[in-house]
Amino acid sequence: MKLSINRTSLTYAVIAGTALIILLLKWTEPDKNPDINPLPVARVELVSVASRDIAFSKTLNGRLIPARKAQIRFEVAGQLRQRLVEPGQRVDQSQVMLMLATEDYKNAEVETRAQLEIEKQAGIRDQQLLELSKQNRVLQQKEVKRLQKLVGKSLTSLSRLEGAKQQLSVLRKEEAQLQYSMDTAKSRLAMRQSSWERANRNLQRCQLRSPWNATVNQVFVQEGDYVSSNQVVIDLIDDTGLEFVLNLRGQIAHKLKPGEAVDITINGETVRGEIIALQVDPDLQTFTHELRVRLPAGIGYPGQVVRAMITLPELKQALLVPVTSLLFENDKQYVFVYIEGKLHRRSVDSGDRVGNEQVILKGLTAGEQVVSRDVASLSDEQQVEVIQSAL
């Protein structure tokens, strides 16, 4: 009996709670016909498109590098016998820096020189033999004719005539062989001469010489090392003339040319450099153009950080707007032009940036008013209110 009363009380409590929730939902139900207030008119700041002549420059940082560098290799292989230079040492043109063991190359030179001399003497011998062979052949021809006459008069045997003819054939064969040897003697001599000259050059190549006056930057081998013919053994630099290398965007690179001056700041002092090379086709990975600027002799040292100021050609009557006026969308650029209370989105082509202003190449005319900032939230044909106009 007591359990039944408790269940009845619980049921009444659930019903009362449900009714209370329904009343609360009804009370907080939103109005089905709310009053819609119009959106406030956007407020924008305007600026007039300026037109003026601009002279500006680009400042870029980089390091100095030697005007000339070379990685030197032996043209022949062998064991390193002497290391005659060390990093930092100055070397003159043709100065010997490294030497290989020369025994094998000396033997090759002696062998080919001997073969050349043998070939020369063989040519002299063959010439003399050819002369003798011609004389013997002429005498044998006369002997054959004499025997033919005697055979006709039955004064000698036919076998003797045939023997004389066979001897004549042998002499003709010998003469032909000697003639061939003389005809090819010049070619054989040239081959022997070439072999000797190559062996002599290889002997000289055992000495590695400096191609120009330079400074040894690195030496990569030690005495006793075996050196191959394609192995870099010495790194040379010419630090008497230094260059400054820059990688420029196409917009800047196309406005420069070799021979123009560039101001370089080194240790707080400005020196005048000269453009000596400009890459026309950009690098396929960085899409930049390499620019090399030559510095006067005796200025700076390799690896020194310097700053270059590149003065670009003056822009005549360039159109300028604030950088913040540009809207970028789908790889295109737009500005919002203000006309009689409305904004008109207009596509433009931009050029160089000058400080906080952007050069406009196409799409605007001087004096037009454009929104100066906060353009991301604006739209075409939007009604706006001007709060400030920088004319």
- Cα 131 → chain centroid: 65
For the entire predicted model, the pTM comes to 0.62
In the numeric block, which tokens belong to residue 146?
Answer: 């004499």
Cα dihedral value 213, 219, 224, 230, nearest 10: -80
Distance CA 301, CA 267 (A): 11
Could you tell me the CATH number of the domain that includes residue 353? 2.40.420.20
Q: Beta partners for 69?
A: 237
Any domain includes 4: no
- Cα 95 → chain centroid: 30
Distance CA 160, CA 147 (A): 8
Distance CA 313, CA 353 (A): 14
CA distances from 92 to 64, 82, 96, 213, 220 (A): 23, 18, 9, 4, 20
Judge whether 242 and 64 are in contact, CB under 8 Å: yes
What residue has token string 């000058």? 354
* Domain co-membership, 253 together with 324: no
The angle formed by the CA atoms of residues 4, 7 and 9, to the nearest 5 degrees, is 110
H or E stretch including 324?
none
Residues 6+ apart with CB under 8 A from 205: 74, 75, 76, 105
Q: What is the CA radius of gyration of the chain?
A: 49
* Domain co-membership, 307 together with 246: yes
Distance CA 112, CA 194 (A): 9
- The whole-number pLDDT of residue 204 equals 95
DSSP string, 170-231: HHHHHHHHHHHHHHTHHHHHHHHHHHHHHHHHHHHTTEEE-SSSEEEEEE---TT-EE-TT-
Any domain includes 20: no
Give which of 382, 335, 384 is closest to 357, Cα–Cα: 335
* Domain co-membership, 169 together with 126: yes
User: How many Cα atoms are found within 13 Å in the side-chain-facing hemisphere of 255?
Assistant: 17
* Domain co-membership, 280 together with 229: no
Any domain includes 272: yes
Distance CA 165, CA 140 (A): 8
Any domain includes 5: no
Distance CA 242, CA 294 (A): 6
Distance CA 289, CA 312 (A): 16
DSSP string, 334-373: EEEEEETTEEEEEEEEEEEEETTEEEEEES--TT-EEE-S
Give which of 208, 223, 237 is closest to 88, Cα–Cα: 237
Beta pairing class for 269-278 and 289-294: antiparallel
Any domain includes 190: yes
Residues shown for the chain: 391
Local confidence pLDDT in tens for the 391 residues of the chain:
444 556 677 777 777 777 777 777 777 766 666 555 565 778 888 999 988 888 777 788 888 889 889 999 999 999 999 999 999 999 999 999 999 999 999 999 999 999 999 999 999 999 999 999 999 999 999 988 888 888 877 777 888 888 888 998 999 999 999 999 999 999 999 999 999 999 999 999 999 999 999 999 999 999 999 999 889 999 999 888 889 888 888 878 888 888 888 888 888 888 888 899 999 998 888 889 998 989 888 888 888 888 888 777 777 888 999 999 999 988 899 999 999 888 999 999 988 788 788 899 999 999 899 999 888 888 898 888 888 655 4
Exposure class string for 44-73: b at 16+ Cβ within 10 A, else e = bbbbebeeeebebebebebebbbbbebebe
Three-class DSSP category at 87: coil
Any domain includes 154: yes
Could you tell me the CATH number of the domain that includes residue 264? 2.40.30.170
* Domain co-membership, 226 together with 184: no
User: Cβ atoms within 10 A of the Cβ of 200, count?
Assistant: 15
Q: Beta partners for 90?
A: 215
Domain hosting 261: range is 238-311
Any domain includes 140: yes
Distance CA 45, CA 48 (A): 10
- The whole-number pLDDT of residue 131 equals 93
Any domain includes 113: yes
235 burial via Cβ count (<10 Å: 0-12, 13-18, 19+): middle
The conformational region for residue 221 under phi > 0 = left, psi -120 to 50 = alpha, else beta, is beta
Domains held by the chain: number = 4
* Domain co-membership, 139 together with 280: no
- The whole-number pLDDT of residue 2 equals 46
Judge whether 314 and 271 are in contact, CB under 8 Å: no
